[in-house]
Amino acid sequence: MTTVAPKNFWYVAAFAEDIGRALVARTILNQALVMFRTEEGSVAILEDRCPHRAVPLSLGRLIGDDIRCNYHGMQIRADGSCSRIPCQDLIPEKARARTYPVVERHKLIWVWMGNSDLADPATVPDFHWFDDPAWTTCHGYHHVNANYQLLNDNLLDLSHESYVHEDTIGNDAVAEAPVTSKVVDGKVYVSREIVNCEPPPFYVKTTGFTTNINRWHTTIFQPPSFNVIENGSYPHHASRSEALERRILNMITPETDTSSHYFWGVARAFLHDDAALTSYIREKIYHTFDQDKVLLEAQQRNLGKETNAPFPVALRTDVGPIQARKLVKQILDREQSEAA
């Protein structure tokens, strides 16, 4: 059995800057979509399927705010209705493409894949760091051929930093540090306090700390696939009030049962005007997530399509991922029960 993702949630479809006056094709939850920005600036998301002969609309072209199918010229408006059929005046009632609710917020384009009557913009996850002047951010995207829950597992057990990312953000102290995990108000909190450790290369470069540091990271998981990592560090001999803090923003959108769109950002609350530092962070985080991608895709290949129970041997550090999977399963069971 494959792992199905919940539908009645807002998912990131794209960074806002990437959607303009061009057709963008993207698959989300096994559904082919096409996106574009209208002449007035709003974003439209439709099923990427012409109602005439099922050719992808993304192969067509924009005529004003209509998509003209490149097969037989049928034109579909941003609201999914048909505006023109070249060979006839009568437009059949079924000549319509499905549309999806869209919200543009925090420099992200959010799409609702489930029951549109439940699409409340107030429930869009909070990623205010992208447009909060108190934080300086950089961002990026990875396509990962792995189920979205494997990415959640990875972010909820950061002990892998010691081995996968030893050239950037990890060292032995991460895996050896004690871990706490709890569920509060439908979210999972997994925390590590790492005391008096050598700063990894990324920390030396971004903070300037060269002596031993205290560092912490708390992964906050919000179902079904959002992870915010609160991270900070300060010299071991100093106080926590002197810490330099970051937020690692992880927005995972299931593409298929075995592939994911991984949108990410890094926000920092220090050295806001240092453009070179921003570029360095973006470059090194790309490299770090490239390393994750290699392992996650290899893990998926070994699992095949069975991603529901990847913990034949559970360790103490698996508590957070297991709690997160339980929350997702409860949501899936509820959706399936309501559908029945």
Which pLDDT value is given to residue 311? 75
Please indicate, yes or no, whether residues 286 and 335 belong to a single structural domain of this protein. yes
Q: What is the C-alpha to C-alpha distance for residues 210 and 198, in angstroms, rounded to an integer? A: 8
What CATH number is attached to the domain comprising 98? 2.102.10.10
Q: What is the C-alpha to C-alpha distance for residues 315 and 302, in angstroms, rounded to an integer? A: 20
User: Which of the listed residues 103, 123, 143 is the one where a domain comes to its end?
Assistant: 123
- For residue 284, tell me if it sits in a domain: yes
Please indicate, yes or no, whether residues 166 and 39 belong to a single structural domain of this protein. no
Please indicate, yes or no, whether residues 116 and 142 belong to a single structural domain of this protein. no
Q: What is the C-alpha to C-alpha distance for residues 96 and 22, in angstroms, rounded to an integer? A: 21
Please indicate, yes or no, whether residues 62 and 196 belong to a single structural domain of this protein. no
User: Which of the listed residues 85, 105, 123 is the one where a domain comes to its end?
Assistant: 123
What's the DSSP call for residue 96? B
- For residue 23, tell me if it sits in a domain: yes
For residue 217, give its domain range. Answer: 129-339
Give the angle subtended at the CA of 144 by the CAs of 116 and 106, to the nearest 5°: 50
Please indicate, yes or no, whether residues 72 and 204 belong to a single structural domain of this protein. no
Please indicate, yes or no, whether residues 114 and 134 belong to a single structural domain of this protein. no
Which pLDDT value is given to residue 340? 78
| Positions of the chain with pLDDT lower than 70, given as ranges | 1-3, 309-310
Please indicate, yes or no, whether residues 100 and 139 belong to a single structural domain of this protein. no
What CATH number is attached to the domain comprising 314? 3.90.380.10
- For residue 4, tell me if it sits in a domain: no
pTM: 0.95
Please indicate, yes or no, whether residues 137 and 95 belong to a single structural domain of this protein. no
Q: What pLDDT digit, counting tens, does each position of 261-299 carry?
A: 999 999 999 999 999 999 999 999 999 999 999 999 999
Please indicate, yes or no, whether residues 300 and 179 belong to a single structural domain of this protein. yes
Which pLDDT value is given to residue 309? 64
Which pLDDT value is given to residue 20? 98
Q: What is the C-alpha to C-alpha distance for residues 17 and 35, in angstroms, rounded to an integer? A: 13
- For residue 242, tell me if it sits in a domain: yes
- For residue 1, tell me if it sits in a domain: no
Which pLDDT value is given to residue 305? 79
- For residue 267, tell me if it sits in a domain: yes
- For residue 34, tell me if it sits in a domain: yes
- For residue 25, tell me if it sits in a domain: yes
Total count of domains within the chain: 2
Burial pattern 104-140, b for ≥16 Cβ within 10 A else e, equals bbbebbbbbbbeeeebeeeebbebebbeeeebbbbbe
Which pLDDT value is given to residue 1? 38
Please indicate, yes or no, whether residues 76 and 51 belong to a single structural domain of this protein. yes
Q: DSSP letters along 41-87, please? A: S-EEEEESS-TTT---GGGSEEETTEEEPTTT--EE-TTSBEEEBTT
User: Which of the listed residues 123, 140, 174 is the one where a domain comes to its end?
Assistant: 123
Please indicate, yes or no, whether residues 334 and 279 belong to a single structural domain of this protein. yes
Please indicate, yes or no, whether residues 67 and 158 belong to a single structural domain of this protein. no
